[in-house]
Amino acid sequence: MPEWPEDRTSYASTLLQLNCFDLPQITDEDRGRTQMYISAREREKGKAEYQSVEDWLHSLETTVTVEELNESNLPRVVQLLNKTNQMNLSTRRMTGPELSAWLKEEKRKLWAFRVRDKFSDSGLTGILSLQAGADSCRIIDFLLSCRVMGRDIERVMIAVAVQCCHSLGCAHLTAKYLETAKNKPCRDFWMKSGFVYSEAETSFSWAAADPYPVPSHIEVIGLNRDQSECGLLRGQEGNFSTALL
């Protein structure tokens, strides 16, 4: 129950300031939520048909499309930033204008990740952002919707970060984990990522000159606009296609 002012003439202005009647912006991912739940059940049901998780992952025919922030994906990116808890490195919360302003600073980059497989199109489900320094890059945002967790999309995101860090001439890529009550799954993933972990700093690091392997069962589509810095994603594994975004 909201607190009302003693002055009754202020009731109207107080009512207008309440946000409980605001209509949220509906994204394509919101509209397709029911179908995604159905597809998730079918996906898990089929898992029992395979002898290993690797075989099951290969059967999914997963495609990940990488794109930069733009007007059309901004609402979904902001939605993910403010609602994702489990697979979230820093749990940074920002509005659209705040995020756009942050990205205007030099050597800051953000990518959005769309995921689909033979069962469904999960839509925009991942976000990665970087800030480059003199000799190292730091991952600022690393988050993934729970609907696609555990299918190696996380490894694709890291590969993009390593590729960009190396392209920018930085020697190291770091990721600092900020613990919350709900993001332990993110820490568990990073502990198995192959990155070197510093317990004192609660951070992870990788030599940018070493390519990070992309899972061979995932096709990655994406060409960044600024090819002089972070161009086409390339790795030792996987099938890569190019598409202007």
Half-sphere exposure of 43 (CA within 13 A, CB side): 24
pLDDT of residue 48: 77
Instruction: Report domain extents, the chain.
Output: 23-244
* Residue 4, token pair as written in the block: 């009302």
Q: In terms of pLDDT, which residue wins out, 103 or 19?
A: 103
Is pLDDT of 19 > 90? no
Whose tokens are 């309440």? That residue is 18
pLDDT of residue 4: 62
Q: Where are the beta strands (DSSP E) in 133-198?
A: 136-144, 172-176, 196-198
pLDDT of residue 228: 45
Could you confirm whether domain 23-244 is CATH 3.40.50.620?
no
Average pLDDT along the chain: 83
Check if the beta carbon of residue 212 is closer than 8 Å to that of residue 156. Answer: no
pLDDT of residue 31: 57
Q: Which residues of 189-212 are buried (b: 16+ CB within 10 A; e: fewer)?
A: bbeebebeeeeeeebbbbebeeeb
Structure confidence at residue 18 as a pLDDT band (50, 70, 90):
low
Interval 160-171 mean pLDDT: 92
Check if the beta carbon of residue 205 is closer than 8 Å to that of residue 172. Answer: yes
pLDDT-above-70 percentage for the chain: 74
CA 7 to chain centre: 47
Spatial distance between the Cα atoms of 208 and 136, rounded to a whole number of angstroms: 9
Q: In terms of pLDDT, which residue wins out, 229 or 88?
A: 88
pLDDT of residue 236: 39
Interval 199-223 mean pLDDT: 92
Contacts made by residues 29-35, CB under 8 angstroms, sequence distance 24+: 29/76, 29/79, 29/122, 29/123, 29/124, 29/125, 32/120, 32/121, 32/123, 35/120
Q: In terms of pLDDT, which residue wins out, 151 or 31?
A: 151
pLDDT one-digit tens code per residue, 66-79? 999 999 999 999 99
